[in-house]
Every structure is written in structure tokens, then in C-alpha cells.
Amino acid sequence: MTAATAPVGAKPTACLALADGTIFYGHGFGATGITTAELCFNTAMTGYQEIMTDPSYAGQVVTFTFPHIGNVGVNPEDDEAGDPVAAGLVVKWDPTEPSNWRSTEKLVDWLAKRGRIGIGGIDTRRLTRMIRQQGAPHVAISHDPDGNFDIDALVAEARNFAGLEGVDLAKDVTCAQSYKWDQMRWAWPDGYPTQTNPRHKVVALDYGAKRNILRCLASAGCDVTVLPATATADEVLEHQPDGIFLSNGPGDPAATGEYAVPMIKTILETTDLPIFGICLGHQMLALALGASTIKMNHGHHGANHPVKDHDTGKVEITSMNHGFAVDTDSLPDGVIETHVSLFDGSNCGLRLKDRPVFSVQHHPEASPGPMDSYYLFERFAKAMEDRG
């Protein structure tokens, strides 16, 4: 077992155990108990609540590289899902008292009510370097106010975690039944307005959709009907959509593709509908077009990722959250790579050569992050308008 780190002063009340035997001691907050997951890091400086409620983080504990986590509290408007989906969080400094006019609750209390463990007092720089160098590890995180930890058992739990490869998590986070969405993007001073004059009927496949993606669709003039991840092509087409949207989501795209890919292939083969995908939806479209996906070493998680648009030559700063990527070398003829990461050259976008079918790996809805790529929602709307 490698040397452990320990917080200065206060007795440790939380423990992070990695599968290789590395132990980090810290201060626990939020829920008590033990959680196992894959560990990733996120470099965003804002939006910890949106990150914790992003369904794409199912099965993962998030290490925040920015130290000030919890200082603006939480509020119902910033949830991307009904409850936190990330398994837990790791931070440098313990959350402070919130100081923000929009705050309705402390992060610590919010986590406790929703069964999520937090651990503070951790050397997050060291932890992040380990993840970058060794890949996203399997971990067990324990919070015990009395500071009693069975280290051998925690390491064993981390080693027994099944991981995310080959696992379909979209079924765990998708909606139980279809529903309509008409809420638009937040606008000062009244919050979220309602779309009252939609121009395009869109069916959105929910593989773990963030609410702000649906808001962006509504703001682009879409009448949005959300369907579960397992919806068939017949169930999609019975809504007579003008376009199909494929959402973000967690887990291994190859596993989710077992039921999602046949549906998308049928849509592609039997209709000329515009299709737009984001994140896991991008990977689902790629698989349906004949490409393949790969597990990344540590993934991309943050709000400062530079992406180059090959069509325009422009560089966009984007939000990302993915641990799998489309294999560029597997893209078949007729499928054009449109965007690429300037961090590592990985694929970040594709389109069909002669049809309004396109997708991106990054998150143009941000939340949190920059809005450089919002134009993609407008491009989708224009494709539906041009089709008539």
C-alpha cells in the first residue's frame, strides 16, 4: 500500500481508497456510508451543482480541481436532473457558508439529503496527476463521523468495482415514460420562460438528457417530446417529428448501442429527417453509421476544452464530459469529421456528407461553461426549416 495523505489538524472522518492501494484521508460531509465508482476529475471553475446532477456522471466520483466548491450554495433552478447523479465528490477545501443571492440551501445539506458523499481536505493536484498518468481508477469513498475505516475492506471494494466498460447506464438514468418539454433558457430577471410558438416538432431520445439541452432545443423553436432511451423507431416516428435529437448520457456507448443503434439505423434508412446528437448521442450516431468507440485514459471533463471546427477553421472553447470517444480511424466513407479536440486530437464531431445528420462530442448547451457552440442548435433548427 502506498503512502497515505492526511489532513492537517482535525481527525479524518472520510477516506478515499484507490484500487492500487493508495489512501487519501480527509473531512467527510454530506451523506455517510461507502460508495464505489470510477474516479474522474473536472476542471470547471463554476457549476458544481450542474456537474453533480449531470446524468452523464452516473457511476463516477468527481474530483474538482477548482478549490472553491460549495461557496455559492445550491438552488432548484440549477439542477440538470431531479437529484445528483454523480456518486460523490472530492474537493481541496471543505465547503464554506454559501454567499449568493440565488442560494436556497447549503451544498453539505443538499448532499446529505440526497445520499451523496463528499470528502474535503484532499490534495486534489496530486490526485489529478495520478488520474492523468494512470487512467481513471476504481475507488471506494467512505464517510464515518467517528473516523473508523477498514482500509483493507475499502481497497477490496474498489478492486471489486466492475467499472464502466461494457455497462449500459443509460437505462438507469433515462425517463420512465415520454413527456413534453417547453421550458426555454434562463433569462433575466424572470428565470425560465415558456416556449409558446414552436416551429419544429422534435423527438429527443433520453440517454441521460440534461435539462439545459432541452431548454436550448425549446429556445431554438422546437416543440420537444422526450422519449425513453429504449424507444423503437416506430415509437419515434409515430410522433411525426421534423427532426430527431440524441442526448448525452453515461456508460459504455457500445452497451447502450445494442438497442439504440438499430433504432437510429432504421431512422436513417427509412427517412430523410435531420438528426442531431450530443455526447453519448454523438457516439450512438457514430456506431449507427458504422464507426466504433474506445475507452479513454481519463476522459475529458471540464469547461475549457478547445475544439477546432474543420468546416470553419474556428476554435471553440467548450464544455466536455465523456470517458469514451469515437475512433476517428473507424469513420466510414461518407462520414466527415467536423470537430477535433486540440488537447489530444480525439474526435469531437461528425456529419454525413449529403444529409442534415450531424453530432458533436462536446456540450453546446454548456451549463456550466461557454456558449461558443450554441449555434449547433440553430443549425439543427435551420435543417428542419429547410426540409419544409
Give the residue numbers marked as catalytic: 279, 363, 365
What string of DSSP letters covers 195-233?
--S--EEEEEEESS--HHHHHHHHHTTEEEEEEETT--H
Please state whether 369 falls in left (phi above 0), alpha (psi between -120 and 50) or beta.
Answer: left
CA-wise closest residue to 284 among 260, 265, 319, 320: 260
CB-based contact 34:154 (threshold 8 Å): yes
H-helix or E-strand spanning residue 283: helix 280-288
**Residue 295 burial (C-beta neighbours within 10 Å; 0-12, 13-18, 19+):** middle
Alpha-carbon span 15 to 118, nearest angstrom: 10
Residue written as cell 490526485? 127
Alpha-carbon span 267 to 383, nearest angstrom: 16
Contacts with 148 (C-beta within 8 Å, 6 or more apart), sequence order: none
What string of DSSP letters covers 82-131?
SS--BSEEE-SS-------TT--B-HHHHHHHTT-EEEES--HHHHHHHH
β-pair type (335-341, 275-278): unpaired
